[in-house]
Structure 1
């Protein structure tokens, strides 16, 4: 069997987890519709997963879906296989920026990103060349790359385009059928936000990764290549905010978690007008805080 796409491998692991705890040997697997919810995938992904189950000996065939044996550890895909090379590279770059290993003006090489992400230098170069069009990184004349600073006008323009796409994504939810897998994902995101909101203030340092996942999921509902491409720049500027003053980071994160929950609660209840209003509030506060931080930074630099 050919190598399964990343999304299908994730779907497979989720279904294996469900089967291990809820389906006895001899019992039938859930319906395809139910499996799209459990596996958070499309019907195409589910059918690829079923083909994988047949190959592993978990079921006899596409129509004979009774469980022949319980899942074994070797049936699951390793965590390292659940992320594509580009995803691993994005994660490494974003985390280094967020952790201040790469402040504005910092230089880095293709080789070091290749080692950290396990992605070939050729793939790293292609990713960086594509990402450079956003103006947030630039290639140095004698080799290597540099992380660029950005000004309030850049953040303002990006925020306006971001708002257009994310509000459209909220509207897209209104057209989804009640049994669409997206609602299972929305409930999961809401539960994770509620858990973070109830945790200690120090735990909110984990928010940027959840923030990126939340907005990336919404943008993904559009299935729009231009929106997906823009999301890389949005993540860098708004989600990992590498120019933000870290002193009030935790209160900012706590407030943003509450804003996310307002959006998610409205979406899980299919209350699109309330979700649109909550998203506008969130985008407005995010953009305002970003612009205030940039102006404060420029003011400090001028005074120094």
Structure 2
């Protein structure tokens, strides 16, 4: 049997979040059109997700759509299953940079990266050519690729552009009309942040994926391809750099969770001033933490 497509899995996870946040056990699920708006998909795609919910025992059938139980973690598709080929290549590259501590100037080949990512060399080449525009890697004249330096200047420039897009995303969200599906996503994100925070320190490892999800959601509201491209880079650079520096991971994640919750709650209240202040505080904190991590790495301090 063919594997379900990535879009189906992603849409189903979004629908599960919506159900968890807004539908009580025994109540009927929203109309198909409403669920299509929430997932940003078609009614046909919604029906596919409903069939999955029936299979998992969340609803009795496609006609009887009353919720039999709340979604559980096992109902969700794993984050790794939602990755495209390019995302897997990104993950493997950054794993090699930070988990293996490859120094600036280290060489690598398309073949070894393709083997590690389970991708074709053509896919790897296309990704590396596109990714090289950010200045983290460069093509060697004699073949192969080289890792460039990641320094304070790069981190500062990246944060400056990130700030511009993230603040614009806050402005975009608070201007949305009441009842927009984005506010359902906000409720679900708040609930999941509270769950992760309540489980610390055991749940600390869940934070990077949750952080990527929140920022991707906000940036996605801009519907701007350049913003999304930058968001991919920010997520990779910030979180994989943090993985190298594990010294204060739990308190760092707890602080970021508090900052996220302050932002999300202000957005849910449509409090423009409060949301902009909370986002600014979070970006200041992320910038400071990243620059400290860069300095520690340059001084050979870390794991």
TM-score clears 0.5 = yes
Q: How far apart are the structure 1 equivalents of 2:130 and 2:244?
A: 25
How many angstroms does 1:12 deviate by?
A: 4.6
**Structure 1 segments unaligned to the other structure (5+ residues):** 59-64, 69-75
TM-score, with structure 2 as normaliser: 0.75
The residue that corresponds to 2:153 in the other structure is 153
Q: How far apart are the structure 1 equivalents of 2:76 and 2:239?
A: 29
How many angstroms does 1:176 deviate by?
A: 1.8
The residue that corresponds to 2:39 in the other structure is 41
Q: How far apart are the structure 2 equivalents of 1:202 and 1:67?
A: 38
Bigger Rg over Cα: 1
Question: In structure 2, do the counterparts of structure 1 residues 137 and 48 end up closer, same or farther at CA, with 3 Å as the change threshold?
Answer: farther
Question: In structure 2, do the counterparts of structure 1 residues 200 and 114 end up closer, same or farther at CA, with 3 Å as the change threshold?
Answer: same
Q: Secondary structure at the match of 2:42?
A: helix
Question: In structure 2, do the counterparts of structure 1 residues 52 and 101 end up closer, same or farther at CA, with 3 Å as the change threshold?
Answer: same
Report Cα offsets for 1:142-161 as digits up to 9, x if no partner: 43333332221221111111
On the 8 A contact 2:172/2:221 being kept in 1, the answer is: yes
How many angstroms does 1:169 deviate by?
A: 0.3
The residue that corresponds to 1:104 in the other structure is 103
Q: How far apart are the structure 2 equivalents of 1:293 and 1:13?
A: 33
How many angstroms does 1:281 deviate by?
A: 0.3
State the aligned residue count: 277
The residue that corresponds to 1:215 in the other structure is 215
On the 8 A contact 2:242/2:293 being kept in 1, the answer is: no
Q: Secondary structure at the match of 2:223?
A: coil
Deviates more, 1:104-113 or 1:123-132: 104-113
Q: How far apart are the structure 1 equivalents of 2:16 and 2:195?
A: 25
Aligned-residue RMSD, C-alpha: 3.7
On the 8 A contact 2:94/2:240 being kept in 1, the answer is: yes
Report Cα offsets for 1:86-134 as digits up to 9, x if no partner: 2333333345545x13533344332333334333221111111101110
Deviates more, 1:242-251 or 1:163-172: 242-251
The residue that corresponds to 2:286 in the other structure is 286
Q: How far apart are the structure 2 equivalents of 1:175 and 1:130?
A: 33
On the 8 A contact 1:36/1:181 being kept in 2, the answer is: no
Q: How far apart are the structure 2 equivalents of 1:277 and 1:22?
A: 34
Q: How far apart are the structure 1 equivalents of 2:111 and 2:64?
A: 46
On the 8 A contact 2:241/2:293 being kept in 1, the answer is: no
On the 8 A contact 2:94/2:236 being kept in 1, the answer is: yes
Q: How far apart are the structure 1 equivalents of 2:28 and 2:264?
A: 33
Q: How far apart are the structure 2 equivalents of 1:267 and 1:194?
A: 16
Q: How far apart are the structure 1 equivalents of 2:201 and 2:47?
A: 45
Q: Secondary structure at the match of 2:241?
A: coil
**Structure 2 segments unaligned to the other structure (5+ residues):** 55-61, 66-74
